[in-house]
Amino acid sequence: MAMLGIFYITHSAVLIEDVPVMNHSIYQDGNPERIYALYNKVGYNCFIAAAIYIVFAVFSCCQLRLNKQKAYLVH
Domain count, the chain: 1
Report the distance separating Cα 11 and Cα 28, nearest Å. 18
Q: What residue numbers bound the domain in which 51 lies?
A: 2-74
User: How do residues 42-54 score in pLDDT, each as one tens digit?
Assistant: 999 999 999 999 9
pTM: 0.79
Instruction: Yes or no: say if 40 and 7 are a contact pair by the CB < 8 Å rule.
Output: no
pLDDT the model gives residue 20? 84
Cα torsion 15, 18, 20, 25: sign = positive
